[in-house]
Structure 1
């Protein structure tokens, strides 16, 4: 390490995902030394080209994580099993057990800062939730095992501690941008259909968040760790848009002209519950065509009050999430990707 080095040494998990990669880029730009942990080799090579140290590593398979943290100052834990469908045990192992072991390893190494990346899925419900703030509680019970596991992991991270480890949680909403392998692919698949169902006429509000804004907030939380002990901060692009508006503009960007239909919500809720029940009964691993979680996210508004993020992080979105999504869609269409 150079004698002029004034940054910190930071362990970043989930570094080969879209958000993790954006965090690595932001950390390096801030002058920090990054050990980037992930499972995908191609993004790992790109991380090395940025100046990070990349380790191909499966956190679930390694039970003693203290060696990873030797000589490091901070942990940003972005690794997770992120899916809207799957078995309880898989989510428990990937999202709760790994977080617990990483916290314990950080404590043993006398690490000072720990930022956990959670999910707004803990708020997903069959009602509109607009301007979710610091005092608003997660849904109980959650709509899927993913949300349940993220909530359980949050409790571990935010629990009172008797050591010097300063822990905080960031919940970024609906991430889009370079490296997004979740939202855009799903929306592209939806836009390719002749008919697109729009529950409640597509009036639900969604806040798309540029990965660069989310990464900035996460890295800023690491900077301000001592002031954020035990806090969870909601992050979004701050510009709520109707689901139907997003779908229409995306379809246009992809050169598609689907027809939007408005099925009845009671029927959709029965269908989602039935398909979930059938999948569980038959042991089917593939996600059902419709789940209660997917229906809730499409049919009901979820937006954040960003005042706490502004107060605690001096956060203000720099990018328009919808513009970022459409830019990515135009690039995909221009490259001849299937749409």
Structure 2
């Protein structure tokens, strides 16, 4: 099988591309930064650099491949709706259109559980439990991108979408780096009582889920799947585990939820007034994420994808910490 992996210069895309190469697949990769994919090219990946907002380039990328794993997109909380729509919806439209024109058989789309976020606690969320209103541009545009993907079924494209929660392992640049830097500056506090349990996903488990999605039978098609390690853990225990591994002091200071939320609202308001609208250091959504229970029901992935998490969170955290130390040695 020959596949295209978009977003291969990012964490998830690069790790899956490497996994696919190790499984014997022919892999074409796309990303904006050539320096970030040198190791993949050395392993045999075919790299085509370029911007997925250009339809002609996307058609070139999809030519001659059997399947596409679409990992590219904008992530985060701060930014304009136009920015997130372009990177998540328009780019996905280009990928879908190119798949149809180039007769690609299957498209596996990497979505996000951010589509569920509404600032409330949730335990065992099922895929259909969407909020009445999306809490941010990222969540809304990731859902709209899913809709573009599923609409292509009508034209014969086999489609699936995955919503993995808090993916971590070597190369993770999104979850822990901000927390590590905040703790080093003495700015990190436990929000609320610190007992909230959340889901994480080992990158190895996500790799297996993506591979299973590429190979799944007809019954699995046309659906979106929650992906996690399936074992919610206290968030602040995880944060302090990582800090201890990196020889940093644990977080012990508590900040009441209401106070943190109010401070985040003021922070966001001030940043909207400043020249250039700099990104706030604290977000209301981030406060809710760090203080509330949040876990996913992964039974659909187990049933239709044969997904079973085998790599523990603690193994993934050890892998992340070893990688982080190697990156920051000296």
TM-score, normalising length: structure 1:
0.90
Residue 144, structure 1, aligned to residue 136, structure 2: yes
Residue 201, structure 1, aligned to residue 193, structure 2: yes
Deviation at 1:118, TM superposition (A): 0.5
Which residue in the other structure is 1:24 paired with?
Answer: 17
Provide closer, same or farther for how the CA distance between residues 53 and 88 of structure 1 changes in structure 2, counting only shifts above 3 A. same
Provide closer, same or farther for how the CA distance between residues 91 and 283 of structure 1 changes in structure 2, counting only shifts above 3 A. farther
2-side partners of 1:44 and 1:331: how far apart?
A: 17
2-side partners of 1:124 and 1:106: how far apart?
A: 30
Unaligned runs of 5+ residues in structure 2 are none
Deviation at 1:301, TM superposition (A): 1.4
Deviation at 1:78, TM superposition (A): 0.4
Which residue in the other structure is 1:323 paired with?
Answer: 315
2-side partners of 1:259 and 1:23: how far apart?
A: 33
Unaligned runs of 5+ residues in structure 1 are 1-7
- The 3-state SS of whatever aligns with 2:30 is strand
TM-score, normalising length: structure 2:
0.93
2-side partners of 1:331 and 1:106: how far apart?
A: 35
CA contact (8 A) 2:197 2:233 kept: yes
CA contact (8 A) 2:58 2:98 kept: yes
Which residue in the other structure is 1:215 paired with?
Answer: 207
- The 3-state SS of whatever aligns with 1:56 is coil
2-side partners of 1:256 and 1:291: how far apart?
A: 24
Deviation at 1:43, TM superposition (A): 2.8
Residue 83, structure 1, aligned to residue 58, structure 2: no
1-side partners of 2:69 and 2:28: how far apart?
A: 10
Equivalent residue in structure 2 for 1:242, among 201, 220, 234: 234
Equivalent residue in structure 1 for 2:47, among 54, 57, 69: 54
- The 3-state SS of whatever aligns with 1:142 is coil
Which residue in the other structure is 1:67 paired with?
Answer: 60
Which residue in the other structure is 2:111 paired with?
Answer: 118
2-side partners of 1:337 and 1:150: how far apart?
A: 36
CA contact (8 A) 1:184 1:329 kept: no
